[in-house]
Amino acid sequence: DAMVIQNPRYQVTQFGKPVTLSCSQTLNHNVMYWYQQKSSQAPKLLFHYYDKDFNNEADTPDNFQSRRPNTSFCFLDIRSPGLGDAAMYLCATSDMGAGGQIAKNIQYFGAGTRLSVL
Amino acid sequence: DAKTTQPPSMDCAEGRAANLPCNHSTISGNEYVYWYRQIHSQGPQYIIHGLKNNETNEMASLIITEDRKSSTLILPHATLRDTAVYYCIVRANFGNEKLTFGTGTRLTIIP
What DSSP designation does B5 have?
B
Contact residues on chain A for B87, CB-CB shorter than 8 A: 42
What DSSP designation does B82 have?
G
Contact residues on chain A for B104, CB-CB shorter than 8 A: 42
Question: Would you list which residues of chain B are within 8 Å, Cβ to Cβ, of chain A?
Answer: 32, 34, 36, 38, 41-46, 49, 87, 91, 93-104
Give the model's confidence band at B1: pLDDT under 50 very low, under 70 low, under 90 confident, else very high: very low
Torsion of CA A19, B37, A27, A87, to 10 degrees: 0
Helix (H, G, I), strand (E, B) or coil at B42: coil
pLDDT tens per residue, range B20-29: 999 999 998 8
Asked if the model's pLDDT at residue B2 lies above 90, the reply is no
How distant, in Å, are the alpha carbons of A48, A115, B54, B58 from that of A19?
A: 19, 9, 45, 40
Region B48-53: mean pLDDT is 92
Helix (H, G, I), strand (E, B) or coil at A84: helix
Q: Which amino acid is at B19?
A: N
Give the model's confidence band at B30: pLDDT under 50 very low, under 70 low, under 90 confident, else very high: confident
Contact residues on chain A for B41, CB-CB shorter than 8 A: 111-112, 114
pLDDT tens per residue, range A75-91: 999 999 999 999 999 99
CA distance B36 to A108: 10
Q: How many CB atoms lie within 10 A of CB A61?
A: 11
Residue of B59, B85, B68, B78 whose CA lies nearest to B7: B85
